[in-house]
Amino acid sequence: MKAKLLCCEGFLAFGFLCSQFGFTQDLTPKEQLGKELFSDKISDPAWVSCATCHGAEMGWTGPDSEINAHGAVYEGSLNGRFGNRKPPSSAYATLAPIFYADFGNRLLGNNDEGLAFDPLFVGGNFWDGRATGWELGNPAADQAQGPFLNPVEQALPDPACVVYRVCEPPGQGQGQGQGQGQGQAPVQGQYADLFKQVWGTEICVINWPNNVNGVCNQSDGVVDLSPQDRNKVNRAYDRVALSIAAFEGSKASNAFTSKIDAHRAGLYEFTEQEELGRDIFRGKGQCSACHVGSPGPGAAPPLFTDFTYDNLGVPRNPENPFSVSNPDWADPGLAGFLENVAGFVEYAVANLGKQKVPTLRNVGLGSCEAVEDGNDCIIKAYMHNGFFKSLKTVVHFYNTRDVKPSCESLSIVDATEEVALANDCWPDPEVAENVNTDELGNLGLTEEQEDALVAFMLTMSDGYLDGQ
């Protein structure tokens, strides 16, 4: 795999270096197109791509050690604009089911109208599930459309601006990163032929107005198009997202090449510590209650998630730029999405503070715990707000959340992970409602058992089979 991805790595670093007619080995034309789109700086100004926040070397999540060590939230294309959550991993995201409510047997009781049920929400992408898959049939494709138009991410004002930059040949597009002049210009139009090859020659036949560049450099710009051309833009924009999802679903992202995959194939024997960790994962640690080890969708290997949502009582990250600017804000998680969906509004309160249960695949990839020299490594952030900086601390929190005293004597500014560990306490939950008290908080694990759990989770990092 390392040899196969050399072209990809070069692309991520320097822009379009791979021939549009010489596809990366094992990638279909649609997947190759998705890779180009994923890695191109299609933003305003042109310095942010999907790859900026989703680095392959870190398991397709945030690749900047300095950012991860603090707020863990990445700055968008406009200076000073930040989102409010850590980038989730885009690996294995294509295997998430379309968002739905599972009423099952979660009986609450009786009301005046009869029986009431509390549904369990499943599937979707983003931490709050808002990329449902309802639009394009795949949550990963729905998710791919979000950042382009998000004013705190890639900040383009109109889907037409994305399509224009994909379709137009070099030298006729938006130029060299107008606006703030940061970073490299997008590789505009250099894979237009590939876009047409994958989706048909008519995909880019759109009558563009002469002022499209200027409009796309305005935060509130709307490209003036005829109804017919607007329909063409919408169709092309959907296919941009479907292409990105195709790449995210390829073996470049969903590799299944970890030690645990090798073990399932009889090609790797767990160490004594890893074996202990697996036993704890399945038993005393209760990890498998949410990070299930059963086969994934379509008989795929286990993804170690049940695709549900949970509030683990994670503390507020006081270094999150959004939280610094909004000190009274607490992340509503799934509730923030549900309260805007007809038919689900009544369930919002019961889901306040719940965030998506992520796959544990690649959870330790690129982290300091995964390298021999921990002094020269990239810090990796964990949970929706990046409060935790190591798997060991995550496990320790699961184990002792309800055992250690509250850090109530510390100011909210001081209550970082580092300070909490130094004072042997845990800050209060960011959202106090709906905290899971059944499956974590007082597990009674020894430090040896905590370390074993970490060792087992490190076996879920892709790349082991590449060198075999």
CATH classification at residue 217: 1.10.760.10
Sequence-distant (6+) residues with CB within 8 A of 121 are 99, 100, 101, 102, 129, 308, 309, 334, 338, 347, 351
Residue 117 lies in a domain: no
User: Which pair of tokens denotes residue 296?
Assistant: 């994934």
Q: What's the pLDDT at 300?
A: 86
Residue 228 lies in a domain: yes
Q: Is the pLDDT at 269 greater than 60, yes or no?
A: yes
Intra-chain end-to-end CA distance of the chain, in Å:
10
Same domain, 298 and 236: no
Same domain, 324 and 458: yes
Q: Is the pLDDT at 283 greater than 70, yes or no?
A: yes
- Indicate if the alpha-carbon torsion angle 126, 89, 441, 315 is positive or negative: negative
Q: Is the pLDDT at 12 greater than 50, yes or no?
A: no
- Indicate if the alpha-carbon torsion angle 306, 310, 313, 315 is positive or negative: positive
Residue 454 lies in a domain: yes
* Amino acid of residue 212: V
Domain that holds residue 20: 6-96+133-248
- Cβ burial, residue 335 (10 Å; 0-12/13-18/19+): buried
User: Which pair of tokens denotes residue 86?
Assistant: 């850590």
82, β-bridge pairs: 75
Same domain, 271 and 231: no
- Range 80-118 burial, b when 16+ CB lie within 10 A, else e: eebbbbbbbbbbbbbbbeebbbeeeeeeeeeeeeeeeee
Boundary (domain end) residue, out of 248, 272, 293: 248
Place of tokens 């999907």: 50
Sequence-distant (6+) residues with CB within 8 A of 328 are none
Same domain, 237 and 266: no
Lowest mean pLDDT among 7-16, 22-31, 40-49, 224-233: 7-16
Residue 124 lies in a domain: no
Average pLDDT over residues 408-414: 67
Average predicted confidence (pLDDT) for the chain: 87
Same domain, 371 and 331: yes
Report whether 79 contacts 176 (CB < 8 A): no
- Give residue 374's pLDDT band: very low, low, confident or very high (50, 70, 90): low
Report whether 48 contacts 153 (CB < 8 A): yes
Average pLDDT over residues 316-324: 90
Indicate the pairing of strand 120-122 with strand 100-102. antiparallel
Q: Which of 82, 94, 16, 90 is nearest to 54 (CA)?
A: 90
Q: Is the pLDDT at 107 greater than 80, yes or no?
A: no
Average pLDDT over residues 91-104: 93
pTM for this model (two decimals): 0.89
Q: Tell me the pLDDT tens digit for each residue of 186-239.
A: 666 788 999 999 999 999 999 999 999 899 988 899 999 999 999 999 999 999
Boundary (domain end) residue, out of 248, 283, 300: 248
Q: What's the pLDDT at 310?
A: 97
Q: What is the percent of the chain with per-residue pLDDT over 90, rounded to a whole number?
A: 75
Boundary (domain end) residue, out of 185, 219, 248: 248
Residue 103 lies in a domain: no
Same domain, 334 and 288: yes
Average pLDDT over residues 259-275: 97
Same domain, 306 and 269: yes
Q: Is the pLDDT at 305 greater than 80, yes or no?
A: yes
In whole angstroms, give the CA distance from residue 113 to residue 120. Answer: 21
Q: Is the pLDDT at 364 greater than 60, yes or no?
A: yes
Q: Is the pLDDT at 339 greater than 50, yes or no?
A: yes
Between 110 and 400, where is the model more confident? 400
Residue 122 lies in a domain: no
Residue 128 lies in a domain: no
Same domain, 190 and 263: no
Same domain, 22 and 166: yes
Same domain, 208 and 314: no
Q: What's the pLDDT at 298?
A: 82
CA separation, residue 185 to residues 16, 44, 161, 211, 239 (Å): 11, 9, 14, 19, 22
Q: What's the pLDDT at 377?
A: 86
Same domain, 13 and 76: yes
* Amino acid of residue 451: D
Average pLDDT over residues 366-378: 80
Between 225 and 325, where is the model more confident? 225
Residue 110 lies in a domain: no
* Amino acid of residue 147: P
Average pLDDT over residues 327-354: 95
In whole angstroms, give the CA distance from residue 244 to residue 390. Answer: 29
Count of structural domains, the chain: 2
Same domain, 371 and 227: no
Q: Is the pLDDT at 42 greater than 70, yes or no?
A: yes
429, β-bridge pairs: 315
Lowest mean pLDDT among 80-84, 95-99, 324-328: 324-328
